[in-house]
Amino acid sequence: MFMPRCFIGFMLPESIKNEVELMQKEVINFPIICKLVERENLHICLSFLGDVENIENIKEKVDMIAKEQPSFNVSVGGLKAVPNEKYIRVLVLDVEDQTECLKKIQKRISQEIGGDSKPSHITLCRVKDVSNKSFVARKIEELKIRKGGEFIINSIQLIESTLIRSGPIYSVIYESKLMS
């Protein structure tokens, strides 16, 4: 039986994708070897589910969570290294949420659906090698203070991740609007 590989989150709006691509253009000039996240795959993940059996059950729970939460604004924060600047595996942009609505939604998803939940962020690239760690750490510090655009979160999406040789392809398979 086929089980799709999924996560719960949302794809970024086009205006924010433009900002993220500008930051990616700066990052590729760092002394690193990395794979950038493709424009069409830019997203914020609230919970990685992995292979899922009962999509209908997940859709019902996403609807229930969405009905409890009004739309809210978040903004793009500065650059961060994951897990840290001494051992860089991923470069991300922080997602700033003054209302803490993302945390509330993540907590509800964790309680009702499960999955692997990390602090909200936008992945720029996966890092394979860093040839000058002190230079990269300095650049990250400089870019930590940069703030990006603001956008509205008005839905929760169930997204399928299909792995192919060139990388993942993300498809929104279900969307539930937040209460208005």
Residue 77 confidence (pLDDT):
92
Which listed residue (61, 121, 170, 174) is catalytic?
A: 121
Which pTM value belongs to this model?
Answer: 0.92
Which one is predicted more confidently, 100 or 3? 100
Domain ranges for the chain: 5-177
Residue 145 confidence (pLDDT):
82
Q: In whole angstroms, what is the distance from residue 43 CA to residue 117 CA?
A: 14
Does 44 score more than 90 pLDDT? Answer: yes
- Tell me the CATH architecture of domain 5-177: Alpha-Beta Complex (3.90)
User: 128 catalytic, yes or no?
Assistant: no
pLDDT digits (tens, 9 = 90+) for 154-165: 999 999 999 998
Residue 3 confidence (pLDDT):
86
34-56 exposure pattern, b = at least 16 Cβ within 10 A, e = fewer: bebbeeebbbbbbbbbeebeebe
Does 146 score more than 90 pLDDT? Answer: no
pLDDT digits (tens, 9 = 90+) for 73-121: 999 999 999 999 889 999 999 999 999 999 999 999 999 999 999 899 9
Contact 127, 89 (CB under 8 A): yes
Which listed residue (32, 43, 130, 148) is catalytic?
A: 43
Residue 148 confidence (pLDDT):
83
Pairing mode of beta strands 32-36, 5-11? unpaired
Q: In whole angstroms, what is the distance from residue 143 CA to residue 27 CA?
A: 10
User: 43 catalytic, yes or no?
Assistant: yes
Contact 151, 73 (CB under 8 A): yes
What percent of the chain has pLDDT above 90? 88
Centre a 10 Å sphere on the Cβ of residue 32 and count the other Cβ atoms it contains.
Answer: 20
Residue 21 confidence (pLDDT):
95
